[in-house]
Amino acid sequence: MKHILVVFVALVSLAGIKAYAQLSHPDWYILEKGATVSIIKPGVNDLTYYLATSGNKPIDRAAVDSMNMRVRFAAGNVVLIYAKEGDSYIAQDMEGRNLVIKGNVTKAIHNNGCTVGYLKAKATSGSVSINKASFVWIKEKKAGGAEVVVQGPDKVDITVPASQLYDINATTLEMLPSAAQKIVE
């Protein structure tokens, strides 16, 4: 009986560690065709666009619904998932929207030089494509290389000319020398 109790306590502890790890280690995922995405909180750009086009009307439920109608998600878009509750993933996209995702997602494959990128042109490999103006996962990038590999839906690799993609991290670092620094108080 004592051994059964010890095994039970160990299993409960492992389950707790697994749940904690799931919440404490966010990671990048690729949206797959058929997944459903609900926007819980609009992003800053959504709010700015709404206020500019509405003449600064108050933001109510109808306003949020209006903002959400403009947003499209496609297979190949990258999101940061930081929790799983039941069959739903709690996530955020690069525009700062809080999302609930149900259905198909694929974990991003991590290699050297992996990061989030922004496509300036549609990318295609066989029958798989990712739309222009999408945030994507850069799976492989060689310093100074003319091409990068993007992880598409269904783990299909899509080779893209480096000139057709913004590397978010590299672009941010290029802007650093001209950025005003603030001291944390």
The radius of gyration of the chain's CA atoms, rounded to the nearest angstrom, is 20
- Cα distance from N-terminal residue to C-terminal residue, the chain: 57
pLDDT range class, residue 90, cuts 50, 70, 90: very high
Distance between CA 86 and CA 184 in Å, rounded? Answer: 38
Q: Which amino acid is at 156?
A: V
Q: What is the pLDDT of residues 154-182, one digit of tens each?
A: 889 999 999 999 888 888 888 888 888 88
Mean pLDDT of 41-55: 84
> What distances in angstroms separate CA 47 from CA 20, 40, 43, 159, 180, one per listed residue?
33, 13, 7, 34, 25
pLDDT of residue 120: 92
- Looking at CATH, the fold of the domain delimited by 115-175 is given as SH3 type barrels. (2.30.30)
pLDDT tens digits for range 103-151: 999 999 988 778 899 999 999 888 888 989 899 999 988 888 899 999 9
> Residue 7: pLDDT above 80?
no
Give the three-class secondary structure for 147: strand
> Which pLDDT belongs to residue 159?
93
pLDDT surpasses 50 at 85 = yes
Task: Give the integer Cα–Cα distance in Å for 143 and 148.
Answer: 10
Residue 92 has pLDDT above 90, yes or no: yes
Which residue ranges make up each domain of the chain? 24-107, 115-175
The token pair at 156 is: 């299909």
Whether pLDDT at 13 is above 60:
no
Lowest mean pLDDT, pick from 7-16, 19-28, 32-41, 112-121: 7-16
Provide, for the chain, the percentages of residues in helix, strand and coil under a 3-state DSSP scheme, each rounded to the nearest 5: 35, 35, 35
For residue 79, pLDDT beyond 90: yes
Q: Is the pLDDT of residue 10 over 80?
A: no
